[in-house]
Structure 1
Protein backbone atom coordinates (compact mmCIF):
# COMPACT_ATOMS: atom_id res chain seq x y z
CA UNK A 1 0.00 0.00 0.00
CA UNK A 2 1.24 3.49 -0.83
CA UNK A 3 1.89 5.65 2.20
CA UNK A 4 3.93 8.50 0.72
CA UNK A 5 3.15 10.17 -2.62
CA UNK A 6 6.10 12.10 -4.09
CA UNK A 7 5.14 14.62 -6.77
CA UNK A 8 7.31 16.23 -9.38
CA UNK A 9 6.35 19.89 -9.91
CA UNK A 10 6.95 21.07 -13.50
CA UNK A 11 4.63 19.31 -15.92
CA UNK A 12 2.97 17.28 -13.16
CA UNK A 13 1.31 19.69 -10.75
CA UNK A 14 2.03 22.88 -12.66
CA UNK A 15 2.03 24.07 -16.25
CA UNK A 16 5.40 25.84 -16.27
CA UNK A 17 6.25 25.81 -19.98
CA UNK A 18 5.61 29.53 -20.51
CA UNK A 19 7.55 30.54 -17.40
CA UNK A 20 10.54 28.31 -18.20
CA UNK A 21 10.71 29.29 -21.86
CA UNK A 22 10.36 33.04 -21.26
CA UNK A 23 12.98 33.07 -18.50
CA UNK A 24 15.37 31.04 -20.64
CA UNK A 25 14.88 33.40 -23.61
CA UNK A 26 15.64 36.44 -21.46
CA UNK A 27 18.69 34.66 -20.00
CA UNK A 28 20.10 33.79 -23.43
CA UNK A 29 19.51 37.36 -24.59
CA UNK A 30 21.42 38.77 -21.61
CA UNK A 31 24.37 36.46 -22.26
CA UNK A 32 24.30 37.09 -26.03
CA UNK A 33 23.84 33.41 -26.77
CA UNK A 34 22.38 31.93 -29.93
CA UNK A 35 18.69 31.15 -29.49
CA UNK A 36 17.96 27.48 -28.76
CA UNK A 37 15.32 25.30 -30.38
CA UNK A 38 12.20 25.39 -28.23
CA UNK A 39 11.49 21.68 -28.72
CA UNK A 40 14.94 20.87 -27.34
CA UNK A 41 14.16 22.89 -24.21
CA UNK A 42 10.78 21.18 -23.96
CA UNK A 43 12.42 17.74 -24.05
CA UNK A 44 15.01 18.75 -21.45
CA UNK A 45 12.57 19.96 -18.80
CA UNK A 46 13.13 17.88 -15.68
CA UNK A 47 16.89 17.71 -16.30
CA UNK A 48 19.07 19.41 -13.64
CA UNK A 49 19.30 23.09 -14.58
CA UNK A 50 23.06 23.46 -15.11
CA UNK A 51 23.08 20.37 -17.31
CA UNK A 52 20.10 21.73 -19.28
CA UNK A 53 21.83 25.05 -19.87
CA UNK A 54 25.08 23.40 -20.96
CA UNK A 55 23.15 21.51 -23.62
CA UNK A 56 21.05 24.48 -24.78
CA UNK A 57 24.07 26.81 -24.97
CA UNK A 58 26.17 24.16 -26.75
CA UNK A 59 28.86 24.61 -24.13
CA UNK A 60 29.29 28.33 -24.81
CA UNK A 61 29.60 30.75 -21.91
CA UNK A 62 29.88 29.99 -18.21
CA UNK A 63 27.04 27.60 -17.39
CA UNK A 64 27.10 28.52 -13.70
CA UNK A 65 26.74 32.24 -14.44
CA UNK A 66 24.03 31.60 -17.02
CA UNK A 67 22.19 29.47 -14.45
CA UNK A 68 22.33 32.29 -11.91
CA UNK A 69 20.83 34.72 -14.42
CA UNK A 70 18.03 32.27 -15.17
CA UNK A 71 17.30 31.82 -11.48
CA UNK A 72 17.06 35.58 -10.96
CA UNK A 73 14.45 35.82 -13.69
CA UNK A 74 12.57 32.76 -12.44
CA UNK A 75 12.46 34.02 -8.85
CA UNK A 76 10.20 36.90 -9.91
CA UNK A 77 8.88 36.73 -13.47
CA UNK A 78 8.92 32.93 -13.65
CA UNK A 79 6.80 32.49 -10.53
CA UNK A 80 4.32 35.08 -11.78
CA UNK A 81 3.85 33.09 -15.01
CA UNK A 82 3.47 29.69 -13.30
CA UNK A 83 -0.01 28.16 -13.21
CA UNK A 84 -1.22 24.91 -11.65
CA UNK A 85 -2.94 22.44 -13.93
CA UNK A 86 -6.70 22.44 -13.50
CA UNK A 87 -7.55 19.98 -10.74
CA UNK A 88 -4.10 19.96 -9.04
CA UNK A 89 -5.30 21.57 -5.82
CA UNK A 90 -8.32 19.27 -5.62
CA UNK A 91 -6.22 16.15 -6.28
CA UNK A 92 -3.61 17.01 -3.68
CA UNK A 93 -6.25 18.02 -1.14
CA UNK A 94 -8.16 14.80 -1.77
CA UNK A 95 -5.09 12.62 -1.22
CA UNK A 96 -4.22 14.57 1.90
CA UNK A 97 -7.72 13.97 3.27
CA UNK A 98 -7.39 10.26 2.53
CA UNK A 99 -4.40 10.18 4.88
CA UNK A 100 -1.49 9.97 2.45
CA UNK A 101 1.79 11.70 3.26
CA UNK A 102 2.65 14.07 0.40
CA UNK A 103 5.95 15.55 -0.75
CA UNK A 104 7.23 17.46 -3.76
CA UNK A 105 10.59 16.59 -5.31
CA UNK A 106 11.92 18.77 -8.12
CA UNK A 107 15.15 19.41 -9.97
CA UNK A 108 14.46 23.13 -9.50
CA UNK A 109 16.52 24.86 -6.82
CA UNK A 110 15.17 23.96 -3.40
CA UNK A 111 14.27 27.56 -2.42
CA UNK A 112 12.67 28.03 -5.85
CA UNK A 113 10.37 25.02 -5.67
CA UNK A 114 9.51 25.79 -2.04
CA UNK A 115 8.39 29.27 -3.09
CA UNK A 116 6.41 27.83 -6.01
CA UNK A 117 4.56 25.35 -3.80
CA UNK A 118 3.70 28.09 -1.31
CA UNK A 119 2.68 30.62 -3.95
CA UNK A 120 0.37 28.20 -5.76
CA UNK A 121 -1.53 27.29 -2.60
CA UNK A 122 -0.30 23.70 -2.25
CA UNK A 123 1.49 24.17 1.07
CA UNK A 124 -1.38 23.19 3.40
CA UNK A 125 -1.41 19.68 1.93
CA UNK A 126 2.32 19.03 1.35
CA UNK A 127 4.42 17.80 4.27
CA UNK A 128 7.80 18.66 2.73
CA UNK A 129 9.39 20.06 -0.43
CA UNK A 130 12.77 19.01 -1.81
CA UNK A 131 14.76 20.48 -4.68
CA UNK A 132 18.23 20.85 -6.12
CA UNK A 133 20.93 21.82 -3.65
CA UNK A 134 24.65 21.39 -3.09
CA UNK A 135 25.81 18.12 -1.64
CA UNK A 136 23.56 15.73 -3.51
CA UNK A 137 22.60 14.85 -7.04
CA UNK A 138 19.17 15.58 -8.52
CA UNK A 139 16.83 13.09 -10.17
CA UNK A 140 17.34 10.44 -11.47
CA UNK A 141 19.94 9.83 -8.74
CA UNK A 142 18.37 8.29 -5.60
CA UNK A 143 20.42 10.68 -3.40
CA UNK A 144 17.41 12.75 -2.34
CA UNK A 145 15.55 9.66 -1.12
CA UNK A 146 18.52 8.30 0.80
CA UNK A 147 19.64 11.63 2.27
CA UNK A 148 16.38 13.50 2.80
CA UNK A 149 13.10 11.73 2.11
CA UNK A 150 13.69 8.46 3.95
CA UNK A 151 15.20 10.18 7.02
CA UNK A 152 12.27 12.63 7.02
CA UNK A 153 9.41 10.13 6.62
CA UNK A 154 10.90 6.72 7.48
CA UNK A 155 8.83 5.07 4.73
CA UNK A 156 10.33 2.31 2.60
CA UNK A 157 10.57 2.79 -1.20
CA UNK A 158 8.04 0.03 -1.86
CA UNK A 159 5.45 2.02 0.12
CA UNK A 160 6.07 5.23 -1.84
CA UNK A 161 4.77 6.35 -5.23
CA UNK A 162 6.62 8.75 -7.52
CA UNK A 163 4.26 10.80 -9.69
CA UNK A 164 5.98 12.57 -12.55
CA UNK A 165 5.81 13.42 -16.21
CA UNK A 166 9.40 13.07 -17.39
CA UNK A 167 12.19 10.54 -17.75
CA UNK A 168 14.14 11.74 -14.65
CA UNK A 169 11.06 11.07 -12.49
CA UNK A 170 10.49 7.54 -13.75
CA UNK A 171 14.21 6.72 -13.73
CA UNK A 172 14.38 8.04 -10.17
CA UNK A 173 11.59 5.73 -9.06
CA UNK A 174 13.35 2.82 -10.71
CA UNK A 175 16.66 3.70 -9.04
CA UNK A 176 14.97 3.92 -5.63
CA UNK A 177 12.98 0.72 -6.11
CA UNK A 178 9.59 2.40 -5.82
CA UNK A 179 6.49 2.24 -8.05
CA UNK A 180 5.79 5.15 -10.37
CA UNK A 181 2.90 6.95 -12.00
CA UNK A 182 3.49 8.63 -15.36
CA UNK A 183 1.65 11.92 -15.89
CA UNK A 184 1.24 11.70 -19.65
CA UNK A 185 0.01 15.30 -19.96
CA UNK A 186 3.42 16.76 -19.08
CA UNK A 187 6.75 17.12 -20.86
CA UNK A 188 8.01 13.53 -21.13
CA UNK A 189 8.20 11.71 -24.49
CA UNK A 190 5.73 8.82 -24.57
CA UNK A 191 7.91 6.02 -25.93
CA UNK A 192 10.82 6.66 -23.57
CA UNK A 193 8.59 7.14 -20.53
CA UNK A 194 6.64 3.96 -21.17
CA UNK A 195 9.92 2.04 -21.39
CA UNK A 196 10.23 2.51 -17.61
CA UNK A 197 7.02 0.51 -17.14
CA UNK A 198 5.21 2.86 -14.76
CA UNK A 199 2.73 1.21 -12.41
CA UNK A 200 0.04 3.73 -13.36
CA UNK A 201 -0.60 6.16 -16.21
CA UNK A 202 -2.78 9.23 -15.80
CA UNK A 203 -3.91 11.59 -18.55
CA UNK A 204 -5.15 14.23 -16.13
CA UNK A 205 -4.06 14.99 -12.57
CA UNK A 206 -7.65 14.49 -11.35
CA UNK A 207 -7.38 10.77 -12.22
CA UNK A 208 -4.91 10.21 -9.40
CA UNK A 209 -7.57 10.25 -6.69
CA UNK A 210 -9.52 7.62 -8.62
CA UNK A 211 -6.67 5.09 -8.64
CA UNK A 212 -5.44 5.63 -5.09
Structure 2
Protein backbone atom coordinates (compact mmCIF):
# COMPACT_ATOMS: atom_id res chain seq x y z
CA UNK A 1 0.00 0.00 0.00
CA UNK A 2 1.35 3.42 -0.95
CA UNK A 3 2.45 5.63 1.91
CA UNK A 4 1.36 9.09 0.72
CA UNK A 5 4.41 10.67 2.33
CA UNK A 6 3.78 14.20 1.08
CA UNK A 7 0.23 14.17 2.39
CA UNK A 8 1.42 12.85 5.74
CA UNK A 9 4.04 15.59 5.93
CA UNK A 10 1.28 18.18 5.63
CA UNK A 11 -0.75 16.64 8.44
CA UNK A 12 1.87 15.83 11.08
CA UNK A 13 2.23 12.22 10.02
CA UNK A 14 -1.48 11.59 9.58
CA UNK A 15 -3.59 11.49 6.43
CA UNK A 16 -6.16 14.18 5.60
CA UNK A 17 -9.75 13.51 6.57
CA UNK A 18 -10.78 14.42 3.02
CA UNK A 19 -9.23 15.87 -0.13
CA UNK A 20 -11.00 18.53 -2.19
CA UNK A 21 -9.99 18.80 -5.86
CA UNK A 22 -10.51 21.60 -8.32
CA UNK A 23 -11.39 20.30 -11.79
CA UNK A 24 -10.21 22.38 -14.77
CA UNK A 25 -6.46 22.88 -14.73
CA UNK A 26 -6.00 20.44 -11.84
CA UNK A 27 -7.47 17.12 -12.96
CA UNK A 28 -8.53 17.98 -16.50
CA UNK A 29 -7.03 19.98 -19.36
CA UNK A 30 -10.26 21.37 -20.78
CA UNK A 31 -8.74 24.23 -22.78
CA UNK A 32 -9.24 22.61 -26.22
CA UNK A 33 -12.99 22.26 -25.61
CA UNK A 34 -13.21 25.70 -24.01
CA UNK A 35 -11.39 27.19 -26.99
CA UNK A 36 -13.82 25.59 -29.38
CA UNK A 37 -16.74 27.10 -27.45
CA UNK A 38 -15.13 30.54 -27.05
CA UNK A 39 -14.29 30.72 -30.75
CA UNK A 40 -17.79 29.62 -31.75
CA UNK A 41 -19.24 32.28 -29.46
CA UNK A 42 -17.00 35.00 -30.88
CA UNK A 43 -17.80 34.07 -34.47
CA UNK A 44 -21.52 33.99 -33.67
CA UNK A 45 -21.17 37.55 -32.39
CA UNK A 46 -19.27 38.68 -35.50
CA UNK A 47 -15.78 38.69 -34.01
CA UNK A 48 -12.67 36.78 -35.06
CA UNK A 49 -11.83 33.51 -33.31
CA UNK A 50 -9.27 33.89 -30.53
CA UNK A 51 -7.41 30.59 -30.69
CA UNK A 52 -6.10 28.25 -28.01
CA UNK A 53 -3.05 30.26 -26.95
CA UNK A 54 -5.17 33.22 -25.93
CA UNK A 55 -7.91 31.13 -24.32
CA UNK A 56 -5.40 29.20 -22.23
CA UNK A 57 -4.33 32.48 -20.68
CA UNK A 58 -7.91 33.50 -19.90
CA UNK A 59 -9.05 30.37 -18.05
CA UNK A 60 -9.05 30.10 -14.28
CA UNK A 61 -11.84 32.23 -12.85
CA UNK A 62 -15.04 30.64 -14.09
CA UNK A 63 -17.04 30.72 -17.34
CA UNK A 64 -18.35 34.27 -17.03
CA UNK A 65 -14.87 35.71 -16.49
CA UNK A 66 -13.56 33.68 -19.42
CA UNK A 67 -16.26 35.12 -21.68
CA UNK A 68 -15.61 38.64 -20.38
CA UNK A 69 -11.89 38.35 -21.14
CA UNK A 70 -12.64 37.05 -24.63
CA UNK A 71 -15.05 39.89 -25.31
CA UNK A 72 -12.67 42.56 -24.03
CA UNK A 73 -9.97 41.17 -26.30
CA UNK A 74 -12.29 41.03 -29.32
CA UNK A 75 -13.92 44.44 -28.79
CA UNK A 76 -11.01 46.32 -27.36
CA UNK A 77 -13.27 47.53 -24.56
CA UNK A 78 -15.38 46.23 -21.68
CA UNK A 79 -18.73 44.92 -22.96
CA UNK A 80 -22.03 46.18 -21.62
CA UNK A 81 -23.84 43.95 -19.14
CA UNK A 82 -26.38 43.09 -21.81
CA UNK A 83 -23.70 42.17 -24.33
CA UNK A 84 -21.77 40.10 -21.78
CA UNK A 85 -24.93 38.26 -20.72
CA UNK A 86 -25.72 37.36 -24.33
CA UNK A 87 -22.14 36.26 -25.00
CA UNK A 88 -22.14 34.13 -21.86
CA UNK A 89 -25.36 32.39 -22.91
CA UNK A 90 -24.00 31.70 -26.38
CA UNK A 91 -20.80 30.32 -24.88
CA UNK A 92 -22.72 27.98 -22.57
CA UNK A 93 -24.76 26.70 -25.49
CA UNK A 94 -21.65 26.12 -27.59
CA UNK A 95 -19.75 24.44 -24.75
CA UNK A 96 -22.71 22.22 -23.92
CA UNK A 97 -23.02 21.11 -27.51
CA UNK A 98 -19.35 20.27 -27.81
CA UNK A 99 -19.39 16.93 -26.03
CA UNK A 100 -16.11 17.51 -24.13
CA UNK A 101 -14.38 15.21 -26.60
CA UNK A 102 -11.07 17.06 -26.50
CA UNK A 103 -10.69 17.31 -22.72
CA UNK A 104 -8.03 15.05 -21.22
CA UNK A 105 -6.85 14.00 -17.78
CA UNK A 106 -3.42 15.25 -16.81
CA UNK A 107 -0.70 12.65 -16.30
CA UNK A 108 -0.76 11.17 -12.81
CA UNK A 109 -4.40 11.95 -12.05
CA UNK A 110 -5.79 8.41 -12.16
CA UNK A 111 -2.89 7.00 -10.16
CA UNK A 112 -3.39 9.66 -7.48
CA UNK A 113 -7.15 9.13 -7.23
CA UNK A 114 -6.70 5.37 -7.08
CA UNK A 115 -4.12 5.63 -4.27
CA UNK A 116 -6.39 7.91 -2.24
CA UNK A 117 -9.26 5.50 -2.73
CA UNK A 118 -7.12 2.60 -1.53
CA UNK A 119 -6.60 4.57 1.68
CA UNK A 120 -10.35 5.23 1.89
CA UNK A 121 -9.91 9.02 1.96
CA UNK A 122 -13.16 10.78 0.98
CA UNK A 123 -12.76 12.85 -2.17
CA UNK A 124 -14.72 15.86 -3.39
CA UNK A 125 -14.77 18.00 -6.50
CA UNK A 126 -15.09 21.71 -5.71
CA UNK A 127 -15.11 23.61 -8.98
CA UNK A 128 -16.34 26.96 -10.23
CA UNK A 129 -17.48 25.23 -13.42
CA UNK A 130 -21.26 25.42 -14.02
CA UNK A 131 -23.13 22.44 -12.61
CA UNK A 132 -24.68 21.54 -15.94
CA UNK A 133 -21.23 20.52 -17.22
CA UNK A 134 -19.31 19.15 -14.23
CA UNK A 135 -20.89 15.65 -14.00
CA UNK A 136 -20.67 15.20 -17.76
CA UNK A 137 -16.94 15.90 -17.80
CA UNK A 138 -16.31 13.53 -14.89
CA UNK A 139 -18.32 10.79 -16.57
CA UNK A 140 -16.73 11.36 -19.97
CA UNK A 141 -13.26 10.92 -18.48
CA UNK A 142 -14.38 8.01 -16.29
CA UNK A 143 -13.35 9.49 -12.93
CA UNK A 144 -16.81 10.16 -11.50
CA UNK A 145 -16.67 6.95 -9.46
CA UNK A 146 -13.81 8.28 -7.34
CA UNK A 147 -15.75 11.17 -5.84
CA UNK A 148 -18.04 11.11 -2.84
CA UNK A 149 -19.22 14.67 -3.46
CA UNK A 150 -19.35 17.07 -6.42
CA UNK A 151 -19.89 20.80 -5.84
CA UNK A 152 -20.02 23.17 -8.80
CA UNK A 153 -19.81 26.91 -9.17
CA UNK A 154 -23.56 27.31 -8.94
CA UNK A 155 -24.24 24.77 -6.18
CA UNK A 156 -24.25 27.58 -3.60
CA UNK A 157 -24.64 31.33 -3.76
CA UNK A 158 -20.89 31.68 -3.16
CA UNK A 159 -18.01 30.02 -4.98
CA UNK A 160 -14.22 29.94 -4.63
CA UNK A 161 -12.34 31.93 -3.35
CA UNK A 162 -15.18 32.18 -0.84
CA UNK A 163 -14.69 29.41 1.75
CA UNK A 164 -18.37 28.39 1.78
CA UNK A 165 -18.08 25.44 -0.65
CA UNK A 166 -15.16 24.02 1.34
CA UNK A 167 -16.98 24.47 4.63
CA UNK A 168 -20.09 22.79 3.28
CA UNK A 169 -18.08 19.97 1.73
CA UNK A 170 -16.59 19.09 5.11
CA UNK A 171 -20.05 19.18 6.67
CA UNK A 172 -21.53 16.98 3.94
CA UNK A 173 -18.70 14.46 4.27
CA UNK A 174 -18.95 14.54 8.09
CA UNK A 175 -15.27 15.40 8.59
CA UNK A 176 -13.45 18.17 10.43
CA UNK A 177 -12.73 21.03 8.08
CA UNK A 178 -9.32 21.68 9.61
CA UNK A 179 -8.26 18.13 8.66
CA UNK A 180 -9.04 18.58 4.95
CA UNK A 181 -6.79 19.44 2.00
CA UNK A 182 -7.60 21.60 -1.03
CA UNK A 183 -5.77 20.75 -4.28
CA UNK A 184 -5.95 23.25 -7.11
CA UNK A 185 -4.11 25.22 -9.76
CA UNK A 186 -5.10 28.86 -9.22
CA UNK A 187 -5.40 31.71 -6.76
CA UNK A 188 -9.11 30.97 -6.38
CA UNK A 189 -8.30 27.51 -5.00
CA UNK A 190 -5.47 28.50 -2.70
CA UNK A 191 -7.27 31.59 -1.39
CA UNK A 192 -10.39 29.50 -0.76
CA UNK A 193 -8.27 27.14 1.35
CA UNK A 194 -6.72 30.03 3.25
CA UNK A 195 -10.13 31.59 3.81
CA UNK A 196 -11.39 28.26 5.14
CA UNK A 197 -8.35 27.81 7.35
CA UNK A 198 -7.17 24.58 5.74
CA UNK A 199 -4.02 23.32 4.03
CA UNK A 200 -3.55 23.49 0.28
CA UNK A 201 -1.49 22.02 -2.52
CA UNK A 202 -1.03 23.76 -5.87
CA UNK A 203 -0.14 22.09 -9.18
CA UNK A 204 2.25 23.92 -11.48
CA UNK A 205 0.75 22.91 -14.83
CA UNK A 206 -2.72 24.44 -14.65
CA UNK A 207 -4.41 27.75 -15.31
CA UNK A 208 -3.60 30.73 -13.12
CA UNK A 209 -4.08 33.58 -15.58
CA UNK A 210 -0.34 33.98 -16.04
CA UNK A 211 0.50 34.42 -12.35
CA UNK A 212 3.36 32.23 -11.05
CA UNK A 213 1.94 29.66 -8.62
CA UNK A 214 4.97 30.24 -6.39
CA UNK A 215 3.35 33.53 -5.41
CA UNK A 216 0.23 31.79 -4.06
CA UNK A 217 1.95 30.46 -0.92
CA UNK A 218 0.28 27.06 -0.94
CA UNK A 219 1.45 24.59 1.70
CA UNK A 220 2.93 22.43 -1.07
CA UNK A 221 3.49 22.74 -4.80
CA UNK A 222 3.73 19.73 -7.14
CA UNK A 223 4.49 19.21 -10.82
CA UNK A 224 2.29 16.11 -10.94
CA UNK A 225 -0.43 14.71 -8.70
CA UNK A 226 1.63 11.52 -8.51
CA UNK A 227 3.87 13.42 -6.10
CA UNK A 228 1.05 13.24 -3.56
CA UNK A 229 1.39 9.47 -3.45
Give TM class, smaller chain: 0.7 to 0.9
Deviation at 1:163, TM superposition (A): 0.6
Deviation at 1:16, TM superposition (A): 1.3
> What is the aligned counterpart of 2:26 among 2, 12, 20?
12
> What is the aligned counterpart of 2:178 among 158, 162, 181?
158
> What is the aligned counterpart of 2:193 among 173, 177, 182?
173
Whether 2:123 is the aligned partner of 1:102: answer yes
Aligned pairs for 1:119-198 within 5 A: 119-133=140-154, 135-146=156-167, 148-188=168-208, 192-198=212-218
Contact 1:48 1:138 (C-alpha < 8 Å) held by counterparts = no
- CA 1:43–1:54 in 2, change beyond 3 Å: closer, same or farther? same
Alpha-carbon distance between aligned partners in 1 of 2:62 and 2:211, rounded to the nearest angstrom: 21
Q: Which runs of 4+ in 1 moved over 6 A?
A: none
Alpha-carbon distance between aligned partners in 1 of 2:211 and 2:83, rounded to the nearest angstrom: 33
The alignment of Structure 1 onto Structure 2 pairs a total of residues equal to 208
Alpha-carbon distance between aligned partners in 1 of 2:27 and 2:163, rounded to the nearest angstrom: 21
TM-score by length of 2: 0.82
- Considering only CA atoms, is the larger Rg found in Structure 1 or Structure 2? 2
- CA 1:55–1:26 in 2, change beyond 3 Å: closer, same or farther? same
Deviations 1:160-191 (A, max 9, x none): 11111111111111111111101011122686
TM-score by length of 1: 0.88
Task: Give the 3-state SS of the residue equivalent to 2:205 in structure 1.
Answer: coil
Deviation at 1:43, TM superposition (A): 3.3
Question: Structure 2: which 5+ residue stretches go unaligned?
Answer: 1-10, 73-77
Contact 1:165 1:182 (C-alpha < 8 Å) held by counterparts = yes
Deviations 1:74-98 (A, max 9, x none): 2232511111112212211111111
Task: Give the 3-state SS of the residue equivalent to 1:133 in structure 2.
Answer: coil
Partner of 2:75 in structure 1? none
